[in-house]
Homo-oligomer: A and B are copies of this chain.
Amino acid sequence: MQAAGGVRSLAFDSKAKLHLANGEAIAPLTMAFETYGSLNSERSNAVLVCHGLNGDQFVASPNPVTGRPAWWPRIVGPGKPIDTNRFFVVCANVLGGAMGTTGPASTAQDGQPYGLRLPPIAISDMVRAQCMLVEALEVETLFLAIGAGFGGMQALQWASAYPNRVFACVTIASAARQSAHNIALMELGRQAIMADPDWRQGGYLAHGVRPQKGGAVARMAACIAGQPASRVRASFDQARALERFTFAPDSSAEGIERIDANSFLYVSRAIDAFDLAADFGGSLANAFTNSATRHGVFAFSSDWRYPPHDSRTIVRALMAAGAEASFVEIKTESGHDAYLGEEPAFEAALTGFVDSAAAARGLALQGGKS
């Protein structure tokens, strides 16, 4: 276990290869992660939080590298819906990320950054890497896998790939398949990065530069769909009214950290390629057969990145598979990013799901520290 600059990470032995969906393998694998709370003696209270494209492993504490505050403080922490006094919360930087986990900015065995030499990554690969980490933490079965958006895709992949190792799964404002309009937005972001002379065909780190202009467009692509449709129009109209063609690339990406450009390329492509049903003959229900996992699916009425329709598709498949599933659509004007904000109805519904699952899991309401 290493800790560099306040970033905890686990470097796996080179023999512990991570086998990728495309047939290649990554070794050695490093997983950077953060934990909150304590694993109980029965090792039955572990919660894996899967972060989104703009997130990192610092779900409930400040990022020591960027100084960015915890990204999900309303949901994860002492006394929160995911109570760190009660659960052992693990959050890992995704494979392909840039916050310590193996990614395009990591050093390859030749001492140079991987850059574009890193093999293409799938969400199933990210989850397989998380599974290696969870095992290393001596957790055999997760009490809960939870995520929103891209994080929800990871949680769904967990429930599908490891049906007996996920007691409960919470999928928030997500989808089992990336939609065309999301792919289009992401692809434009990728093209903007690759069109930036400072991208240097992916070798910008070696040149000591960063494709900041292209990256700004990519950040915008990554978060514009997170806003409610009404605000997209409003911020556009406002920017248009203020001055001519000075709409700052960041104006729709306020508060979002700089994403490593190559990480954006890898991770966004993994998201765009996600199609859980495709691995099961086109039947999403088949992705959940014989699953004992209980699912909580949450959607926000004004989310146009992953509209409630996408969540209903997941719920229908779960029902068809005979899985236990509950669905809650929260009426809100906050769009996709509502999961990050103050949404009492959402927090209440999530708390209800988590508590009932915990009771079914035999987890006491109080304590949990071992």
A residues whose Cβ falls under 8 Å from a Cβ of B: 116, 120, 178-181, 183-185, 187-192, 194-197, 202, 213-214, 216-217, 220-221, 224-225, 227-230, 232-233, 236-237, 240, 244-245, 247, 249, 252, 265, 269, 272-273, 275, 304
Chain A to chain B: the 6 pairs with minimum beta-carbon distance, closest first: A180-B229, A195-B213, A180-B232, A188-B188, A192-B192, A191-B217
Q: Nearest Cβ distance between residue A230 and chain B, in whole angstroms?
A: 8
Cα–Cα distance between A216 and B214 once the two chains are bound (Å): 13
Determine if B183 and A185 form an interchain contact, defined as CB atoms under 8 angstroms apart: no
When distances are taken between beta carbons in the complex, the residues of chain B under 8 Å from A229 are: 179-181
Determine if B221 and A188 form an interchain contact, defined as CB atoms under 8 angstroms apart: yes
Determine if B273 and A240 form an interchain contact, defined as CB atoms under 8 angstroms apart: yes
Determine if B184 and A225 form an interchain contact, defined as CB atoms under 8 angstroms apart: yes
| Residue of chain B at shortest CB distance from A236 | B183
Determine if A272 and B236 form an interchain contact, defined as CB atoms under 8 angstroms apart: yes
- 6 extra A-B contacts, CB within 8 A, seeds A187-B247, A192-B195, A195-B196: A180-B232, A180-B233, A185-B185, A191-B192, A191-B217, A202-B245
Determine if B191 and A247 form an interchain contact, defined as CB atoms under 8 angstroms apart: yes
Q: Nearest Cβ distance between residue A121 and chain B, in whole angstroms?
A: 11
| Residue of chain B at shortest CB distance from A248 | B191
